[in-house]
Structure 1
């Protein structure tokens, strides 16, 4: 569905390119987690996919269409949730009347269900809402739009702890096999139970492009007590309870739940070779 091919991109006036010969493919039916340190180009990549920015060379295509052309048939299948956005001081009903016609599969029923999950009423004055409430409304509209591609930039920023849990539940409930969600975030614990494919990028390119199933099939994430042997461990961090470790799975070991923060730190510190899951063994 999304094909980013050998792109180079640099902001005007900047000496350092954001991307140099960068490529990645994204398929339908997956929730992608787009991770990286500050300044590695996560938001830039989202805006390139949305056609809001244009690469200096290479191509970004959505369903075979150059994203920068921003054709109407592409835009009606795409919704972008930026980290910062503006909502006009109008009622929710007025906002829906103005914006829903751009999305052929928009569902007011889905919108109302999402708002109810977030404990917001269906009748709202958008200008009177807090920033957290506005984010809930905007994400609810994004899911109700029914687009095949949803791009989210730091969607949990500004949400309290209960709302982050509701966010995961709402996204999972309205995800279907013909949709693609791309979530860029620093808040890895907010999304580790939601995403099924990982993209970790750096200023040097792609560090990891792998499904969660592949990662958990090759590696185990455990808490080991001080003094326990560290055989097979590729990365470890001390904690108050012991050592958090990422280890190569051995035959017969049960699969463990992904610790996304531990994996991210291992990848960015070079404990796994760039761009692959090399170093693991099939089990």
Structure 2
């Protein structure tokens, strides 16, 4: 479980990124973390992983402060940062050097995911592309079997086919005791795999709901005309039609349009769940 209470953080001589941010997240779900540029998504993941310390407030993972870097907690936390740092060694040597720190590391799983991503142990990390480096770190992260997996822009730099493989691999690799938080601008890359939508804006948690709650209360439609449409929560005009969010009625449940939902949240639309 992740517990955050009254979190305040800012970098030196900069305005606060978080102002008394509070939230709780239970394990056993994939959380989509969204926000505008500069909303602090990457910083949020660094705070959770213990890389930086809040100015004030509480951050706890399973009751422990991650900034204390307790080995018993750190072996259960893995962050794939958008800013990659990988040593100039082969994949095999990386695994030999770093898997040791994660007691639940599964080498067989690692080899299977590497095969899915067309990676080989003999590949040298400094010679492969950015996208291949990203896929390698995702494979390593999933193979640690950590309870807390934090992925910052995991689909940046990888091709369309690899994005599809990423979704399949992620779903097939995690268990009910794990929590995955995915921070991304590429909303459509993960909209079919997340369980919860978390949006940060203006230094706070402005939306934090399970996708089941969203589907039960909101309907997402594409309509040619909205002049007679009642109770519209939010809409966007596109070529020849409107994308609309409205309260659920007696009609069939619709797929969630995450991009439209995010725009509605940031626009301060009156969303009631």
Instruction: Please report the TM-score for the alignment, with normalisation by the length of structure 2.
Output: 0.97
Report deviation, 1:104: 0.6
Equivalent position of 1:256 in the other structure: 254
Counting only pairs closer than 5 Å after superposition, residues 90-239 of structure 1 correspond to structure 2 as 90-226=89-225, 229-239=228-238
Tell me how far apart the structure 2 counterparts of residues 4 and 67 of structure 1 sit (CA, whole Å): 12
Report deviation, 1:260: 0.2
Equivalent position of 2:264 in the other structure: 266
Instruction: Please report the TM-score for the alignment, with normalisation by the length of structure 1.
Output: 0.93
Q: For structure 2, which runs of at least 5 residues remain unmatched after alignment?
A: none
Off by >4 Å, runs of 4+ in structure 1: none
Tell me how far apart the structure 2 counterparts of residues 10 and 92 of structure 1 sit (CA, whole Å): 36
Q: Cα RMSD between the aligned structures?
A: 1.2
Q: Does the residue aligned with 1:12 lie in a helix, a strand or coil?
A: coil
Equivalent position of 2:13 in the other structure: 13
Aligned residues: 273
Report deviation, 1:227: 5.6
8 Å Cα contact 1:3/1:61 also seen in 2? yes
8 Å Cα contact 2:90/2:121 also seen in 1? no
Report deviation, 1:121: 2.8
Tell me how far apart the structure 1 counterparts of residues 221 and 121 of structure 2 sit (CA, whole Å): 44
Report deviation, 1:228: 6.1
Equivalent position of 1:70 in the other structure: 69
After superposition, the Cα gap between the structure-2 partners of 1:241 and 1:143, relative to the gap in structure 1 and judged at 3 Å, is farther
Tell me how far apart the structure 1 counterparts of residues 184 and 23 of structure 2 sit (CA, whole Å): 18
Tell me how far apart the structure 2 counterparts of residues 67 and 230 of structure 1 sit (CA, whole Å): 49
Report deviation, 1:67: 1.4
8 Å Cα contact 2:33/2:181 also seen in 1? yes
Tell me how far apart the structure 2 counterparts of residues 87 and 227 of structure 1 sit (CA, whole Å): 52
Select between 153-162 and 229-238 the one with higher mean Cα deviation: 229-238
